[in-house]
């Protein structure tokens, strides 16, 4: 049993908080991840990448800030290695491929990383990673338009949990959660035996509550948190306070 399995075994409702690793710089990024850790069950750290095509403007800017600070995958692994809670890495495939798939997985596993999500890597292209996971879980994504056979296929290949995307669209802050997600959740539950985490557009404590009410096992919050980094770029202390307050507020509904 992995540490991620353990999270879902212990909790009915889990909170996963995302930040782009090393945004806006390594020092601050370490503090932000450390602050988030108090309130999340699993931490999701992004590897900054130049062309994040599944991300909306908020996380695009986060990637750019981290890259401008010179953040490379090793810096993100350094952040992972100081965290105590389970960590999943979110990457675009080219970052993994260029680093060297085997080297990336070994380094991640050595840095206390518990799972990997590669956003532009469907299971059929993931053979090269799956054989080299060094004990880590591999999380695949499922979409509202995924067919029944596709959902089964994704369930078969995922370990740890399945990442369900709540919207058609990129990551970003949204005003409300689609009520149709109840059907989506039922469809997934009928076909999957892995925990289900919902992300993309989950921006407020009310959204988190709704996520659980639809039957998802975890809520993933990213852009709403990353937006607070952008707002606080001029004053690191108040940024960290603001993030702390937001994360605590999210936690209060779990």
For the CB of residue 85, give the shortest distance to other proteins in the complex, in Å.
Answer: 26
SS3 165: strand
- Looking at the Cβ atoms of 165 and 203, the one nearer to other proteins is 165
* Active-site residue set: 44, 55
Other Cβ atoms closer than 10 A to 92: 22
Query: What's the angle, vertex CA 57, arms to CA 55 and CA 61, rounded to 5?
Result: 95
CB-based contact 126:158 (threshold 8 Å)? no
For the CB of residue 143, give the shortest distance to other proteins in the complex, in Å.
Answer: 4
Distance, in Å, from the CA atom of 228 to the CA atom of 243, rounded to the nearest integer, reads: 6
- Looking at the Cβ atoms of 98 and 110, the one nearer to other proteins is 98
- Looking at the Cβ atoms of 80 and 142, the one nearer to other proteins is 142
For the CB of residue 88, give the shortest distance to other proteins in the complex, in Å.
Answer: 16
Which residues of the shown chain bind other proteins in the complex (CB under 8 A)? 49-51, 53-54, 56-57, 60, 67, 72-73, 92-99, 119-122, 124-125, 140-147, 150, 154, 165, 168-170
Cis bond leading into 9, ω under 30°?
no
- Could you tell me the end-to-end alpha-carbon distance of the chain, in angstroms, rounded to an integer? 24
Burial of 41 (0-12, 13-18, 19+ CB in 10 A): buried
For the CB of residue 163, give the shortest distance to other proteins in the complex, in Å.
Answer: 9
Strands across the sheet with 42-46, in order?
137-139, 113-118, 87-91, 42-46, 14-20, 218-221, 196-199, 162-165, 141-142
For the CB of residue 24, give the shortest distance to other proteins in the complex, in Å.
Answer: 17
For the CB of residue 72, give the shortest distance to other proteins in the complex, in Å.
Answer: 5
Distance, in Å, from the CA atom of 61 to the CA atom of 78, rounded to the nearest integer, reads: 22
- Looking at the Cβ atoms of 6 and 51, the one nearer to other proteins is 51
Alpha carbons within 13 angstroms on the beta-carbon side of residue 146 total: 26
Which residues of 86-155 form beta strands (DSSP E)? Answer: 87-91, 113-118, 137-139, 141-142
- Looking at the Cβ atoms of 92 and 246, the one nearer to other proteins is 92
- Looking at the Cβ atoms of 98 and 130, the one nearer to other proteins is 98
């Amino acid at each position: 049993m992995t540490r991620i399995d353990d999270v879902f075994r212990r909790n009915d409702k889990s909170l996963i908080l995302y930040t782009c690793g090393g945004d806006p710089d390594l020092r601050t990024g370490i503090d932000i991840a450390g602050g988030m850790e108090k309130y999340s069950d699993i931490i999701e750290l992004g590897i900054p990448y130049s062309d994040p095509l599944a991300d909306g403007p908020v996380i695009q800017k986060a990637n750019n800030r981290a890259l401008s600070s010179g953040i490379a995958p090793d810096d993100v692994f350094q952040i992972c290695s100081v965290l105590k809670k389970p960590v999943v890495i979110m990457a675009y495939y080219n970052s993994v491929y260029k680093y060297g798939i085997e080297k990336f997985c070994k380094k991640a596993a050595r840095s206390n990383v518990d799972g990997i999500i590669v956003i532009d890597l469907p299971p059929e292209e993931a053979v090269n990673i799956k054989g080299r996971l060094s004990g880590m879980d591999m999380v695949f994504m499922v979409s509202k338009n995924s067919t029944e056979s596709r959902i089964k296929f994704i369930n078969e290949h995922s370990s740890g949990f399945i990442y369900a995307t709540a919207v058609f669209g990129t990551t970003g802050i949204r005003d409300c959660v689609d009520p149709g997600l109840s059907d989506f959740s039922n469809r997934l539950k009928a076909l999957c035996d892995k925990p289900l985490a919902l992300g993309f557009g989950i921006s407020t404590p009310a959204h988190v509550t709704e996520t659980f009410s639809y039957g998802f096992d975890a809520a993933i919050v990213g852009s709403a948190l990353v937006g607070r980094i952008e707002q606080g770029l001029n004053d690191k202390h108040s940024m960290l306070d603001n993030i702390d307050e937001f994360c605590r507020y999210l936690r209060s509904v779990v």
